[in-house]
Amino acid sequence: MKVRAIGLMSGTSLDGLDICLAEFEKHEKWTFTILNADTLSYSTDWENKLRNSIHLSAESLLELHSDYGFYLGQQVTEFMERHQLENIDLIASHGHTVFHQPQRKFTLQIGDGRAIKLKTDLPVIYDFRSQDVLMMGNGAPLVPIGDELLFSEYGACLNLGGFSNISLQSNGKRIAFDIAPVNIILNPLAQQFNKDFDENGDLARKGKINEQLLNQLNSLDFYQQSHPKSLGIEWCNQHIFPILENVEPLEALATFTEHIAQQISDIINKNNSKDILVTGGGAYNTFLIEKIKAKTKSEVIVPEKKIVDYKEALIFAFMGVLKANNEINVLCSATGSTSDHSSGVIA
């Protein structure tokens, strides 16, 4: 069985929209080939709309849900024209997360799949998180199903995006959880130097670590909790940004980068993973990667650019394929929901 699917991913750090077309094939196990992939930067207008979505009235938010759906559909149409693509079976869209409060039984990813379908005339699967939250899960992380079925040769898979999360085998089960915020904190700090992000971690490298701040960060409650657990922007607004507010920005970057490396290496060392596949934008932060390597004996592998950049979009495409076949695409061992399930709404 061969399926060609497009995955759409918009990360919390708003660095753009990832579009990935992949072909999936199943014999004894699933294999994949990434055929085409692009990252489209948001216009300032769209970036502001999405960033401010958390503050909108219900009415304005519903309007944005529709508008963003049509925008996504338009981006896919242009992607297909640009690469002269045909014979696509489905689109799987993550949407843009506005709220994520699983303890209150809700999560919201905007970008109406029906609008995408109207623009592209293709089957669309969207809203992958809500069902899990209703089933007492964290609604995250979802990517472990792809780690389990597409990347099982690695001891662990670490994603460094807005947040860092890891997935690995433990006692015969795939477990996964968020570790610490990454670019959702580092990018705003770099923006104080008129840079979109801290390229290669060069700014953090210049800063001095503030030991008192480091201890304060490391002693936050979240890090003492057992998994499954997940983080959202609300947590950062409550616990991280306030304590960084009066810290000199270079010092904040250096200290927070050290904090991330400590939290990640602690988890890697506790689980004795032989090797770790590292993907997401943070994989290009050479300073952060150096720090993680220095603190662990495990082999830290940064793969080819296509996998670094598009692994999440690839896995959402794969989740869409699984949903279309009514196969399990969410693992309760990763999210904490009551059972494994097949999630997503088919438009």
Model pLDDT for residues 148-177, shown as the tens digit of each residue:
999 999 999 999 999 999 999 988 899 999
Number of Cβ within a 10 Å radius of residue 140: 29
Distance separating alpha carbons of residues 331 and 343, to the nearest angstrom: 10
SS3 assignment, position 108 = strand
Given this chain, do its domains 2-137+316-346 and 144-306 carry the same CATH topology? yes
Which pair of structure tokens corresponds to residue 71? 């925008």
pLDDT at 289: 98
Model pLDDT for residues 64-86, shown as the tens digit of each residue:
999 999 999 999 999 999 999 99
- CA distances 195 to 14, 18, 67, 187, Å, are 14, 21, 29, 8
Distance separating alpha carbons of residues 138 and 48, to the nearest angstrom: 27
Q: Are 104 and 94 in contact (CB under 8 A)?
A: no
pLDDT at 142: 94
The alpha carbon of 300 is separated from its chain's Cα centroid by a whole number of angstroms, namely 19
Distance separating alpha carbons of residues 205 and 155, to the nearest angstrom: 29
Tell me which residue has tokens 């997503």: 344
pLDDT at 147: 98
Q: Are 132 and 343 in contact (CB under 8 A)?
A: yes
CATH code, 2-137+316-346 = 3.30.420.40
CATH fold label, 144-306: Nucleotidyltransferase; domain 5 (3.30.420)
Say whether pLDDT at 210 is over 90.
yes
The amino acid sitting at 278 is: V
292: which DSSP letter? Answer: H
Tell me which residue has tokens 């970036």: 47
Q: Are 32 and 43 in contact (CB under 8 A)?
A: no
Task: List beta partners, residue 90.
Answer: 5
What percent of the chain clears pLDDT 70, i.e. is strictly above it?
100
Angle at which helix 183-191 crosses helix 249-271, to 10 degrees, equals: 160
Tell me which residue has tokens 């104080």: 192
Say whether pLDDT at 202 is over 80.
yes
What contacts 145, CB < 8 A, 6 or more positions away? Answer: 174, 315, 318, 319, 322, 328, 329, 330, 331, 334
Say whether pLDDT at 43 is over 90.
yes
Q: Could you tell me the pLDDT band of residue 240, with boundaries at 50, 70 and 90?
A: very high
The rounded mean pLDDT for the chain is: 96
Model pLDDT for residues 255-304, shown as the tens digit of each residue:
999 999 999 999 999 998 899 999 999 999 999 999 999 999 999 999 99
Burial (Cβ within 10 Å: 0-12, 13-18, ≥19) of residue 66: middle
Q: Could you tell me the pLDDT band of residue 30, with boundaries at 50, 70 and 90?
A: very high
Distance separating alpha carbons of residues 335 and 125, to the nearest angstrom: 20
pLDDT at 297: 92
pLDDT at 230: 82
Model pLDDT for residues 215-226, shown as the tens digit of each residue:
999 999 999 999
pLDDT at 78: 99
Please confirm whether the linkage preceding 141 is cis (ω < 30° from 0): yes
341: which DSSP letter? Answer: B
The alpha carbon of 16 is separated from its chain's Cα centroid by a whole number of angstroms, namely 12
Distance separating alpha carbons of residues 218 and 213, to the nearest angstrom: 9
pTM over 0.75? The answer is: yes
The alpha carbon of 223 is separated from its chain's Cα centroid by a whole number of angstroms, namely 19
Tell me which residue has tokens 């060392």: 269
The alpha carbon of 201 is separated from its chain's Cα centroid by a whole number of angstroms, namely 20
The residue extents of the domains of the chain are: 2-137+316-346, 144-306
136: which DSSP letter? Answer: T
Model pLDDT for residues 102-144, shown as the tens digit of each residue:
999 999 999 999 999 999 999 999 999 999 999 999 998 899 9
330: which DSSP letter? Answer: B
pLDDT at 80: 98
pLDDT at 228: 81
Q: Are 88 and 80 in contact (CB under 8 A)?
A: yes
